[in-house]
């Protein structure tokens, strides 16, 4: 595998919009008032700018997540945990058939830096792609003033459990996180912890729903509790997942509140398989051979269970492990 | 706009739908409250499995036996109120099996660490090196993040939406 280590370069500034254009390997990126334009040797593609920036900033924050992140049906990244593929049309049967697909592998550091550079240049003050659309400004139009605060946030993972001494903190008013408007109807209390003398600090419990209700980001799962390689992540979801996620392993969704509609498609071809509507209390596996995209009409709480065992993606890819999690016997 | 948050419970839940041109068993679609509603108290029914790891649904009703695991576990109370009692185990009392919760023969000898009373939405650490007991005066439901263990019950065909159910 040929891994590109050359970083992104700026190729010019659009005199009308003020945004820079960029080159990363064989891919070029430019934006106008409404769209991102991506070109590669045999093709080009256009993505609505809000969708593009929402996907790109999450891809950086997730560290490219598990497996495939489709910004849309054509363009995206694949995480190989140290290297990252940037592709266009590689998982679309028609692009493949026409021979106009393209894939290049880079070090993860190069892609992360490239996406950060593009996002920094293309995001103006007043627009935050991690917020729900109703909670932020518009990304449309010409360049105004670049944001100077952190583009990614909310990604600090717990190493054992949220709120333990030395671990990631639970959100609160003191951390600057208020209850989101969509959960204002809920009542939140704290668990009652009574330790015997000598065991202070050894028992621990949090209000997990309160923590999720205070999230100032959407579609951004963060580690809350770890058992071995089993990772409990929670996230607040509103509007639509701005990427289509293709798994390199099985994962599980547990709907804690409200509902999310999931579109399911074949991972390799994008051919639709159907839909799943998950309501509070529902549990559903996302097999390793699909891609999925969620739609949450009202802000909801979702728990995701991941298996972070190193090298797991290779065991699924080789066929050693089945692309689904449970045998019914 | 005033929002209304919908949260299921043992007494009131609406299961979603799964409509796929695929083998529905691959998705193992179930509902925590439905599983708990059909479980005996303190059965540990797997609703999610990632190789050696599981999430188990427990219907908490009355007083459970004592359990211990060779690793941390975490319980999220999904309905009702439950109290978790903890006893510190000596090193030689910590179970030596590979993973998951094991039932102890009786209340272990050891100092009481204390208790946690948790309600819907609370997540409780069940720390390695301790034994724990669950109690509730009224039916409550917990989802436990753990590993497959000697008490894990897998009855996927009974709990999951199958072709024809959807």
Residues A316-327: tens digit of each pLDDT: 999 999 999 999
Cβ distance A194 to B115 less than 8 Å, yes or no, reads yes
> Any chain A CB within 8 A of the CB of B11?
no
Residues in A closer than 8 angstroms to B125, CB to CB, are 161, 164, 203-205, 225
Pick from B122, B145, B156: CB nearest A207 = B122
For residue B19, what are the β-bridge partners? Answer: A275
Residue range A217-242: mean pLDDT, rounded: 96
Residue of A215, A208, A264, A254 whose CA lies nearest to A238: A215
Alpha carbons A269 and B22: distance in angstroms, whole number? 15
Cβ distance A228 to B121 less than 8 Å, yes or no, reads no
- Eight-state DSSP code of residue A144: -
Q: What is the pLDDT of residues A111-132, one digit of tens each?
A: 999 999 999 999 999 999 999 9
Size of interface A-B (CB pairs under 8 A): 239
What is the sign of the dihedral through the CA atoms of A196, A200, A204 and A206?
positive
Cβ distance A326 to B28 less than 8 Å, yes or no, reads yes
Question: For position B96, what pLDDT does the model report?
Answer: 87
Phi, psi of A111 (to 5 degrees): -70, -40
Q: A19 to chain B, minimum CA–CA distance in Å?
A: 36
User: Counting beta carbons within 10 angstroms of the beta carbon of residue A320, is it exposed (0 to 12), middle (13 to 18) or buried (19 or more)?
Assistant: exposed
Pick from B34, B113, B119: CB nearest A195 = B113
Q: A276 to chain B, minimum CA–CA distance in Å?
A: 4
Alpha carbons B121 and A212: distance in angstroms, whole number? 10
Those residues with Cβ within 8 angstroms of residue A116's Cβ, 6 or more apart along the chain or in another chain: A60, A151
Q: Is residue A45 within 8 Å of A31, Cβ to Cβ?
A: no
Rounded to 10°, the helix A108-122/A49-61 angle is 140
Alpha carbons B139 and B146: distance in angstroms, whole number? 22
Do the strands A20-24 and A205-207 form a parallel or antiparallel pair, or are they unpaired?
Answer: unpaired
Alpha carbons B120 and B80: distance in angstroms, whole number? 6
Residue of A78, A131, A308, A316 whose CA lies nearest to A237: A131
What are the distances in angstroms from CA A214 to CA A63, A291, B145? 23, 29, 23
Interface test with B, best of A227, A256, A294, A320 (most B CBs within 10 A): A227
How many residues appear in chain B? 166
CA atoms within 13 A on the CB side of A85: 19
Residue range A301-325: mean pLDDT, rounded: 96
Placement of tokens 């105004």 in the chain? A144
Residue of A219, A217, A201, A109 whose CA lies nearest to A163: A201
Question: For position A156, what pLDDT does the model report?
Answer: 79
Does position A207 have pLDDT exceeding 80, yes or no?
Answer: yes
Q: What is the pLDDT of residues B15-29, one digit of tens each?
A: 999 999 999 999 999
Alpha carbons A250 and A306: distance in angstroms, whole number? 8
What are the distances in angstroms from CA B85 to CA A49, A163, A203? 53, 20, 10
Q: What is the pLDDT of residues B88-99, one digit of tens each?
A: 999 988 888 999
> Any chain A CB within 8 A of the CB of B24?
no
Q: A148 to chain B, minimum CA–CA distance in Å?
A: 32
Q: B9 to chain A, minimum CA–CA distance in Å?
A: 8
Q: Is residue A115 within 8 Å of A129, Cβ to Cβ?
A: no
For residue B122, give the chain A residue with the closest CA: A207
Does position B165 have pLDDT exceeding 70, yes or no?
Answer: no
> Any chain A CB within 8 A of the CB of B7?
yes
Does position A1 have pLDDT exceeding 90, yes or no?
Answer: no
Higher pLDDT, B162 or A155: B162
Residue range A231-248: mean pLDDT, rounded: 96
CA atoms within 13 A on the CB side of B127: 20
Does position A295 have pLDDT exceeding 90, yes or no?
Answer: yes
Cβ distance B34 to A285 less than 8 Å, yes or no, reads no
Question: Is the model's pTM score more than 0.90?
Answer: yes
Residue range A195-211: mean pLDDT, rounded: 97
Does position A154 have pLDDT exceeding 80, yes or no?
Answer: no
Residue of A15, A28, A242 whose CA lies nearest to A114: A28
Q: What is the pLDDT of residues B47-69, one digit of tens each?
A: 999 999 999 999 999 999 999 99
Q: What is the pLDDT of residues A63-101, one digit of tens each?
A: 999 999 999 999 999 999 999 999 999 999 899 999 999
Q: What is the pLDDT of residues A20-65, one digit of tens each?
A: 999 999 999 999 999 999 999 999 999 999 999 999 999 999 999 9
Cβ distance A283 to B16 less than 8 Å, yes or no, reads no
**Rounded to 5°, angle at Cα B31 from B42 and A212:** 95
Does position B135 have pLDDT exceeding 80, yes or no?
Answer: yes
Residue range A233-241: mean pLDDT, rounded: 97
Question: For position B78, what pLDDT does the model report?
Answer: 98
The alpha carbons of chain A give a radius of gyration, in whole angstroms, of 21
Question: For position A262, what pLDDT does the model report?
Answer: 98
Considering chain A, what is the average pLDDT of its residues? Answer: 96
How would residue B164 be classed by pLDDT, with cut points 50, 70 and 90?
Answer: low
Residues in A closer than 8 angstroms to B136, CB to CB, are none
């Amino acid at each position: 595998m040929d891994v590109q280590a050359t970083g992104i370069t700026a190729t010019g500034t659009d005199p009308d919009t003020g945004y820079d254009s960029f080159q990363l390997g064989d891919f070029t990126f430019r934006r106008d008032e409404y769209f991102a334009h991506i070109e590669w040797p045999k093709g080009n593609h256009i993505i609505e700018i809000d969708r593009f920036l929402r996907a790109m900033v999450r891809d950086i924050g997730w560290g490219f997540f598990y497996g495939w992140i489709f910004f849309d049906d054509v363009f995206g990244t694949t995480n190989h945990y140290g290297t990252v593929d940037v592709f266009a049309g590689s998982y679309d049967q028609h692009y493949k058939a026409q021979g106009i697909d393209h894939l290049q592998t880079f070090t993860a550091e190069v892609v992360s830096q490239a996406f950060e550079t593009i996002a920094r240049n293309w995001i103006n003050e007043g627009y935050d792609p991690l917020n729900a659309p109703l909670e932020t400004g518009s990304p449309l139009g010409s360049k105004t003033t670049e944001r100077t605060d952190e583009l990614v946030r909310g990604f600090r993972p717990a190493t054992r459990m949220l709120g333990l001494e030395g671990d990631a903190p639970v959100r609160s008013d003191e951390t600057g996180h208020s209850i989101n408007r969509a959960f204002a109807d809920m009542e939140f209390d704290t668990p009652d912890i009574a330790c015997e003398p000598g065991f202070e600090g050894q028992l621990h419990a949090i209000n997990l729903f309160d923590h999720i209700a205070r999230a100032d980001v959407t579609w951004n799962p963060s580690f809350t509790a770890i058992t071995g390689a089993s990772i409990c992540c929670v996230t607040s979801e509103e509007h639509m997942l701005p990427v289509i996620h293709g798994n390199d392993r099985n994962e599980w969704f547990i709907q804690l509140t409200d509902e999310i509609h999931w579109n399911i498609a074949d991972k390799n071809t994008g051919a639709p398989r159907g839909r799943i509507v998950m309501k509070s209390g529902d549990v559903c596996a996302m097999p390793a051979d699909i891609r999925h995209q969620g739609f949450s009409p009202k802000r909801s709480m979702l728990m995701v269970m991941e298996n972070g065992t190193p090298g797991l993606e290779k065991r699924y890819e080789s066929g050693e492990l089945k692309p689904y999690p449970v045998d019914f016997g | 706009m005033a929002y209304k948050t919908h949260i299921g419970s043992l007494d009131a839940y609406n299961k979603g739908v799964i409509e796929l041109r695929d083998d529905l068993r691959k998705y193992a679609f179930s509902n925590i409250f439905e599983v708990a509603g059909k479980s005996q108290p303190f059965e540990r029914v797997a609703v999610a499995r990632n190789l050696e790891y599981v999430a188990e649904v427990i219907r908490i009703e009355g007083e459970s036996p004592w359990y211990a695991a060779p690793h941390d576990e975490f319980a999220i109370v999904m309905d009702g109120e439950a109290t978790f009692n903890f006893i510190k185990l000596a090193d030689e009392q910590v179970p030596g099996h590979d993973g998951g919760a094991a039932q102890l023969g009786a209340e272990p000898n050891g100092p009481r660490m204390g208790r946690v009373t948790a309600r819907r939405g609370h997540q409780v650490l069940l720390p390695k090196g301790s034994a724990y007991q669950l109690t509730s005066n009224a039916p409550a439901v917990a989802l436990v993040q753990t590993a497959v263990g000697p008490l894990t019950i897998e009855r996927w065909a009974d709990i999951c939406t199958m072709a024809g159910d959807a």
